[in-house]
Structure 1
Amino acid sequence: MGSTLAIGDFSRATHLSVKKLRHYHQIGLLEPADVDPETGYRHYATEQISAAQVIRRFRELDMPLDEIHAVLSAPDPQTRNALIADHLARMEAGLTRTQAAIAALRDLLEHPNTAAPIEHRRVEAAAAAAITEVIDIADALLWYQGALGELHALLAAQDIRPDGPPGATYSSELFADERGSATIFVPCQGQVRPMGRVVPLVVPAVELATITHTGPHNGIDRAYGALATYVSDHALAVDGPIREYYLVGPGDTPEETAWRTQIGWPVFATSATT
């Protein structure tokens, strides 16, 4: 072993506090080269400076300590690089979400009263292929994409053509409790044979007040707010799940600005239907 540094000097050399170095020792992430059995003083080998610098860089990237430990103890470069790549991918996804949230907030501040027109629509009962599950609201978008892909695959396998844009119904509990029932459906003509999660379903008729949101789903809450205000102001609300129709979605184009989602709030039947 080469020369060693007391913990204070090692702290200065690595820009890691003494408190952090002691914690890293306790959890086995960075153990000192020598611990005096009588005084408990820790000494670190100068060769450990590079490992400490790696740990510091990973912490700056918000990598959890257990993942850093896995990287440092990886049995080979391929495993180590895969662990690092996984973390970077999660960071990039988080950055994308942050950028989207910033853009949505900026748009809200610059255009606080912008809203699409609201219409009334009578939706007739329709036969469909459907998937219904209890989901967490945090998983709603991924669940919708996966379920919709499964529905289209089954219809193609059974040679049944869709008869209109796909839609979904979401229970009040999903919004209030962050967990509740959701149904994704694809209207179609023909006898759907149940398979896996897919079952035939008659989507019931309903009277809706509707608004169409254009763009990615992360800004859809503004359309929900405008629609809820309209329904409340006109005292039209009735019990029933929220309904969405995906007029243009990820399955049609990867261009998020082109997506169009029609949101329907169940209301009393009126004469002003469209």
Structure 2
Amino acid sequence: MTSTLAIGDFSRATHLSVKMLRHYHEIGLLEPAAVDADTGYRRYATEQIVAAQIIRRFRDLDMPLEEIHTVLQAPDVAIRNRVIANHLARLESSLARTQEAVTSLRELLDHPQANVPIDHRRLASTPAAVITDIVDKADALTWYRGAIGELAATLSAQDINPAGPAGGIFDTELFTEDRGRATVFLPCDPVPEPIGRVSATVIPPAELATIVHPGPHTDIDRTYGVLAAYVTRHELAVDGPIREYYLVGPAETRDESLWRTEVGWPIFQARHPR
């Protein structure tokens, strides 16, 4: 005969609250061995203690309840292990982002004012292959990587060499509203025949105050902040989109610590062209 525990004793044995056990019963994740038809009292088999402990540990790792259910009900080991491996990969990715944020915060606290040189540049109009889209800021880095790859592949397929580093133009709304127009481009002459998302245009001239951000984009806001303070202090700022030029980016190396991104803030024309 199977030994059973009342829900209170099962709660003490597994460190899962009675409220949580009732919830798991309602959603079919951990059903009691028996439920009294008259009183509704739940009883759990001693063999269910291990299953409850597994559920608790998966919840400590923030695994969604649906995935825990899949693991417990998996028809074979391969399916179970795949679900677990996918979740562990998400945890590792989240941990990497947390470590990057901690490193960035420590650097910010230790060196609140970055000492990076700022230049002025006047850029002429430039023919280019472009991809433009409305982008959520949270997805901007992933979108940028895909767009850069698509631009490079299109130029290569049409035997066109880039005439300079890739760049990006970002409307103010992308920053102020977390969603806005973003454009990435590759300077080239001739420009490619339009295909897929890729089209051709002329990037307009601009007068910019520029600063080079080293490394990944996780803390590029610090570089933006230094540049904004500079143009404000010198009363140079004018309306216009921010530009970025990817002097060294994903097309050149997967090592983000080697990336070099030139950020350009629009300013009024400080000198007349000769």
* TM-score normalised by structure 1 residue count: 0.97
Q: Deviations over 1:73-122 (max 9, x none)?
A: 22322222111111111111000000000000000011111231111000
Matched, 1:268 2:262: no
CA RMSD in angstroms comes to 1.3
Structure 2 Cα separation of the partners of residues 75 and 150 of structure 1: 41
Q: How far did residue 258 of structure 1 move?
A: 1.5
- The answer as to whether partners of 2:129 and 2:191 remain within 8 angstroms in 1 is no
Which structure 1 residue ranges, 4+ long, deviate > 3 Å from structure 2? none
Structure 1 Cα separation of the partners of residues 216 and 170 of structure 2: 18
Q: How far did residue 271 of structure 1 move?
A: 2.6
Residues 16-35 of structure 1: pairs in structure 2 closer than 5 A: 16-35=16-35
The aligned counterpart of 1:244 is 244
Structure 2 Cα separation of the partners of residues 153 and 114 of structure 1: 36
**CA shift in 2, pair 1:226/1:191, >3 Å:** closer
The aligned counterpart of 2:214 is 214
The aligned counterpart of 1:43 is 43
Gaps of 5+ in 1: none
The aligned counterpart of 1:4 is 4
Structure 1 Cα separation of the partners of residues 141 and 263 of structure 2: 15
Q: Which moved more, 1:189-198 or 1:134-143?
A: 189-198
The aligned counterpart of 2:175 is 175
The aligned counterpart of 1:225 is 225
Aligned-pair identity in percent equals 63
Q: How far did residue 206 of structure 1 move?
A: 0.4
- The answer as to whether partners of 1:123 and 1:206 remain within 8 angstroms in 2 is yes
Q: How far did residue 21 of structure 1 move?
A: 0.7
Q: How far did residue 64 of structure 1 move?
A: 1.5
- SS of equivalent to 1:239: coil
**CA shift in 2, pair 1:96/1:272, >3 Å:** farther
Gaps of 5+ in 2: none
* TM-score normalised by structure 2 residue count: 0.97
- The answer as to whether partners of 1:58 and 1:68 remain within 8 angstroms in 2 is yes
Structure 1 Cα separation of the partners of residues 182 and 36 of structure 2: 62
Q: How far did residue 272 of structure 1 move?
A: 9.3
Structure 2 Cα separation of the partners of residues 191 and 110 of structure 1: 46
One-letter amino acid of the structure 2 residue matched with residue 231 of structure 1: V
